[in-house]
Amino acid sequence: MNKFFSFLRNHYTDIYKGFLFVAMIVLLVMIFPKEGKFKYEFQKGKPWMHEVLIAPFDFAILKSTEKLEIERKAIRDKIKFYFDFDNNISTQKRQELIVDFNKKWSDKYTDSPDFQYMKEQSEQLCLSIFDSVMNVGIIELTSDIENKPDDFRIIVIRDQHANENELSKLFTIQTAYNFINTSLNLTQRFDNNLLLSVLENSLKQNVVFNDVITESEIANSLNNISLAHGMIQKGERIISKGELITPEKYHVLESLKIMYESQLGSSTTYYAIIAGQIILITIIVFVLFAFLLFFIRDVFNENRKILLVLIQIILMVFITSLVVKYQIDYLYVVPICIIPIILRAFFDTRIALFVHIITIILIGFLVPNSFEFVYLQLIAGVVTIFSIVDLQRRSQFFLTSLSIFVTYILIYIGISLIQEGSLAEIKLMYFALFAGSALLSLFSYPMIFIFEKVFGLITDVTLMELSNTNTKLLRELSMKAPGTFQHSLQVSNLAEEAIYEIGGNNLLVRTGALYHDIGKMDNPLYFVENQTTGINPHDELTNEESARIIIGHVIKGIEKAKKNKLPEQIIDFIRTHHGTRKAQYFYALEKNNTIEGEIIDESIFTYHGPIPFSKETSVLMMADSVEAASRSLKTHDEEKINSLVDKIIDAQLYDGQFANSDITMKEIEKIKKIFKKMLLNIYHVRIEYPE
């Protein structure tokens, strides 16, 4: 059991990589639909490139989406709308009319016998006209029938009987008012103004739209539409090799594909389909891991970076599968190109392109017209990577989004011309989908920020922000320790030039160099570059006390960096820029003042480390030591500068400070030459010409 736990402890990272490998395969298999794939690829307007295709079974030729939509529209245009004749409304409004008439008559006339007969006659006329209107019916105008012709027929349900009526046979509020006005004008024996006012107030639509029955009838009619318009018999030739795929042939092939894949999805082939998916997905995942192992080793060695890559792939495949399953019309709004943007922000263009290719190949198994989809997304992804090769400004995200949109449109137009032979079939809806996908790619910026925090990684955009000398921490350094700030600027220039020459992240090393000595801010006068008054506070201290202060600037720098939430990659430069070397000046003084045979506690004079572990941190150590030492030279000539650079870097090499770094002797020699050349330029040393 102990051996087992020991094995797990010693091989933890490799086991974790294996777990990620298996977990990705399992998740992708779960995401993939459990249905078969038609084994032939075909495109409208192109020749059939396979052998003669014979119908393997009887199947119906399905109607195209456009044809079905035309039929649905025709049904909606011809459908008869249902209305209810509401007798309760008529009864209620008739009672209200009587009350209203009596009130208005009483307000205007007395109750004398002279007016009683006139009142009764007026009331009878008013009720007669009201009944004439309401018995015919006043229709409720809806948006569906508002602009219909007068002879348009509707169904009116009255007393549980449904009858067809033309719109012209029913009143509207306006036509009812006109009828009342005309009827009153036929007689001059009554107070027409009073009657018109009473009747106008009593008008209400009593033929009410019945949306439930209408929608039910529409649904029934739409459900009765035949999805097919013909049959292909088993053994019948569908298409021959080289034959052009016309729109008619395309619909036949699409119908066969749908039927073929539905049959493959039966229970008898379920496990075979899963086995096929496992094989294909395993191969793709293996290729991805092999690529990282052989070409992007720094990513392969860090499990958090592998996890970041895998999350990008799985999330995009999962999102696309949901869109394909529930709303395939919005397939092209999925922001596939967000993957190369995010990965380029953290890694190089190789991994961004390769992972993008792997992702669209996986998605190609899910989507229809997979060749078109893969081609479209591949070219768009390449253009995306071109636009962010040097990602250092936020504005680049908008330019990238525009590039994606333009690329999508051009490729869509090209494919349409090939398939249709004209631009007549281009759908503007796709332009909107492409615009949506391009806009969604802008979400890569906040996602990059989130992944930075979650995975503890750093991007060039963040480094550009941190390397701005107007940041709070660097401004504080320039104010409290101006000499240290100038030293940091010089070190950053030396280190950046050197790392650019040997290959590495020059922006990272420049930023690390600017912050490597921020720990000196607390006691700036104890460091020689800040001593401008000629007073050295170390004269009042012992060598051990001085060494503790000098060495302590590393610990203070780490604490200050963490307090200001600097990324760990920058803090690494603070930790390692002195490695495990000694504070040589005070150590030498202590040795000179020590009686022979007395033992010196070397740990007091030794930095705590760790030693550099990358090219960038190694170059910073060299640049820091060389720049600081060059200030102590009394004369800056070519011979002394060359000797100084060789002496300092050779001593660091001899002390094993670069043992954990992947830097080579050849690269170290290049660095020496660059430092010598730059120091000569800094101190304006003229090269001595040969006689």
Q: At what angle do helices 338-346 and 444-455 cross, to 10 degrees?
A: 40
Q: Interior CA angle at 262 toward 35 and 277, to 5°?
A: 15
Mean pLDDT, range 543-566, rounded to an integer: 89
**Hey, is 479 helix, strand or coil?**
helix
| pLDDT higher than threshold 80 for residue 652 | yes
Residue 485 is which amino acid? F
Q: At 5, is the pLDDT very low, low, confident or very high (cuts 50, 70, 90)?
A: low
* Distance in angstroms (rounded) separating the CA atoms of residues 685 and 345: 41
> What is the C-alpha to C-alpha distance for residues 196 and 97, in angstroms, rounded to an integer?
11
| 527/516 Cα distance (integer angstroms) | 14
Cα separation, 2 vs 17, in Å, equals 23
pTM of the full predicted structure? Answer: 0.65
More confident residue, 411 or 141: 411
82-85 and 228-232 strand pairing: unpaired
d(CA 198, CA 104): 8
Task: Tell me the C-alpha distance between 273 and 265, whole Å.
Answer: 8
Mean pLDDT across the chain, nearest whole number?
A: 84
Listed by start position, the domains of the chain span 37-63+226-264, 76-221, 283-455, 460-682
Q: What number of other Cβ atoms are within 10 A of residue 516's Cβ?
A: 33
Residue 637 clears pLDDT 60, i.e. is over it: yes
Mean pLDDT of 548-566: 91
Q: Give, for 59, the enclosing helix (H) or strand (E).
A: strand 59-62
171 forms beta bridges with 138
List, in order, residues 6 or more apart from 28 with CB less than 8 Å away: 277, 281, 285, 314, 317, 362
pLDDT at 268 exceeding the cut of 60 = no
Angle at 633 between CA 627 and CA 637, to 5 degrees: 95
Query: Are the C-beta atoms of residues 375 and 363 closer than 8 Å to each other?
Result: no
Confidence category of residue 689, pLDDT binned at 50, 70, 90:
very low
Contact by Cβ (8 Å): 495, 600: no
DSSP, res 367: S
Q: What does the buried/exposed string (b/e) look like for 191-213 if buried means 16 or more CB atoms within 10 Å of the residue's CB? A: bbebbbebbeebbbbbbbbbeeb
CA 446 to centroid of chain Cα atoms? 9
SS3 242: coil
Highest-confidence segment of 37-51, 216-230, 350-364, 528-542 = 350-364
| Joined tokens for residue 341 | 């943007």
Provide the pLDDT confidence category of residue 609 given band limits of 50, 70 and 90: confident
Which residue is it, tokens 């035309």? 70
- Residue 519 CA to residue 621 CA, distance in Å, equals 16
pLDDT score of 430 more than 80:
yes
Query: Is residue 327 predicted with pLDDT exceeding 50?
Result: yes
Backbone angles phi, psi at 230, to 5 degrees: 150, 170
Encoded tokens for 532: 């401008």
Q: In whole angstroms, what is the distance from residue 71 CA to residue 226 CA?
A: 10
Using alpha carbons, select from 429, 458, 369, 441 the residue that is nearest to residue 405. 441
**Which of the residue ranges 86-95, 473-482, 530-539 would you say has the lowest mean pLDDT?**
530-539
Q: How far is CA 530 from CA 489, 521, 632, in A?
A: 14, 10, 14
Residue 60 is classified by DSSP as E
> What is the average per-residue pLDDT within 537-562?
88
| Cβ neighbour number for residue 404 with a 10 Å cutoff | 27
With both helix axes pointing from N to C terminus, report the angle between 638-654 and 615-630 in degrees, rounded to the nearest 10.
140
Stretch (H or E) spanning 231: strand 228-232
Tell me what pLDDT residue 11 has.
66
Query: Is the model's pLDDT at 277 over the cut of 90?
Result: no
Answer yes or no: is pLDDT of 369 > 90.
no
In sign, the C-alpha dihedral spanning 429, 434, 439, 440 is positive
Which residues contact residue 390 at a Cβ distance below 8 angstroms, ignoring those fewer than 6 apart? 460
Q: What is the pLDDT of residues 449-482, one digit of tens each?
A: 888 888 888 888 788 888 888 889 999 999 999 9
Q: At what angle do helices 472-480 and 506-515 cross, to 10 degrees?
A: 50
Averaged pLDDT for residues 632-654: 87
Tell me: pLDDT of 104 over 80.
Answer: yes
Question: Is residue 484 classed exposed, middle or buried when 0-12, 13-18 and 19+ CB atoms within 10 A define those classes?
Answer: buried
CATH architecture label of 460-682: Orthogonal Bundle (1.10)
- 488-507: average pLDDT: 91
What string of DSSP letters covers 398-420? HHHHHHHHHHHHHHHHHHHHHHH
Q: How many CB atoms lie within 10 A of CB 462?
A: 19
Integer Cα distance of 312 and 258 in angstroms: 31
User: What is the rounded distance in angstroms from the CA atom of residue 234 to the CA atom of residue 211?
Assistant: 45
**Do residues 558 and 571 lie in contact, with contact meaning Cβ atoms separated by under 8 Å?**
yes
Among 421-430, 625-634, 640-649, the minimum mean pLDDT is found in 421-430
